[in-house]
């Protein structure tokens, strides 16, 4: 005969698994450092929290930093379905804020991280006080085609996803090393950027690229109440004369926008122009 108490405990575990799991779930594995107002920092596609390494110590004097490590990127295993990498990242950021008992925080994101910031500000206006977007558009295909739409970008998105998954490990690694040369001018950072992506889960990368190429945040910008500050890179291959009107048009739906261009920089502005980047970041965080 099974004793009554163990039986009841077993039944409770079966009937209430969600409640037990939610109560026992640990906070996401995000580094927290510094003192001051809360600031969430999110890296880009396949990137490590070390994206913020050159400004972390300085910012930590004035902010409590929450350095997000996106599941599936830069050596962190995926959580759940890799196809839902963006939804998982958003959910983890909110769960982290809940775990830390933070009602509202400032947010800065690079590349895909900036795109996630727009999504969170649109979906959860009560949680995001302000957003700084670093070198990212509300619809990624605009970089290649100013007339891009989700409909006419779908095939390219499918091709990109297939291409990422089809490469063998050596070919993928070589591709990332070549790509890193176009993403940053500072040679010292090229190896690290490539290594982060090579260490990422391939299915998560492919899903994230597909989502960026088929999700258009422009129709939702008007609903974002938080101030949004955008930092964009300009260089001879992407000159101010092209970048400024591209970003201004893409973000036209925002009610509170300021665009800052950082010259002589590629995609990783924080590595190519660290002083100008920190100044622009701090100005964006001071937005009210």
Q: Where are the domains of the chain?
A: 28-285
CB 256 within 8 A of CB 125: no
Compute mean pLDDT per 10 residues along the chain, 288 residues long, and list them: 37 34 72 98 98 98 98 97 97 97 98 98 97 98 95 97 97 97 96 98 98 98 97 96 97 96 98 98 90
From the list 70, 5, 94, the residue with the least C-alpha distance to 200 is: 70
- How is residue 216 written in tokens? 């258009």
User: Is the pTM above the cut of 0.85?
Assistant: yes
Indicate the CATH number for domain 28-285. 3.40.50.1820
Identify the pLDDT of residue 26: 82
Give me the count of residues in the chain. Answer: 288
């Amino acid at each position: 005969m099974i004793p009554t108490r163990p039986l009841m405990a077993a039944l409770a575990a079966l009937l209430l698994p969600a409640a037990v799991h939610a109560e026992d779930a640990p906070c996401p594995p995000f580094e927290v450092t510094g003192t001051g107002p809360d600031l969430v920092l999110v890296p880009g596609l396949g990137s490590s929290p070390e994206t913020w390494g050159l400004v972390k110590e300085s910012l930590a004097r004035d902010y409590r930093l929450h350095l997000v490590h996106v599941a599936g990127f830069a050596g962190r295993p995926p959580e759940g379905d890799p196809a839902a990498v963006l939804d998982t990242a958003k959910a983890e950021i909110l769960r982290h804020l809940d775990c830390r008992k933070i009602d509202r925080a400032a947010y800065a994101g690079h590349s895909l991280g900036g795109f996630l910031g727009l999504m969170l500000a649109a979906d959860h206006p009560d949680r995001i006080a302000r957003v700084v977007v670093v070198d990212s558009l509300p619809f990624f295909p605009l970089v290649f085609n100013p007339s891009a739409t989700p409909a006419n970008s779908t095939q390219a998105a499918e091709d990109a996803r297939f291409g990422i998954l089809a490469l063998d490990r050596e070919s993928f690694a070589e591709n990332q090393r070549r790509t890193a040369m176009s993403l940053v001018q500072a040679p010292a950072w090229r190896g690290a950027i490539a290594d982060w992506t090579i260490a990422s889960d391939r299915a998560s990368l492919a899903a994230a690229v597909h989502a960026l190429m088929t999700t258009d945040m422009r129709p939702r910008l008007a609903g974002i109440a938080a101030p949004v500050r955008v930092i964009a890179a300009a260089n001879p291959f992407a000159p101010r004369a092209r970048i400024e009107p591209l970003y201004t048009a893409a973000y036209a739906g925002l009610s509170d926008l300021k665009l800052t261009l950082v010259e002589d920089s590629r995609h990783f502005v924080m590595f190519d122009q660290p002083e100008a980047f920190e100044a622009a970041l701090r100005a964006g965080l001071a937005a009210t």
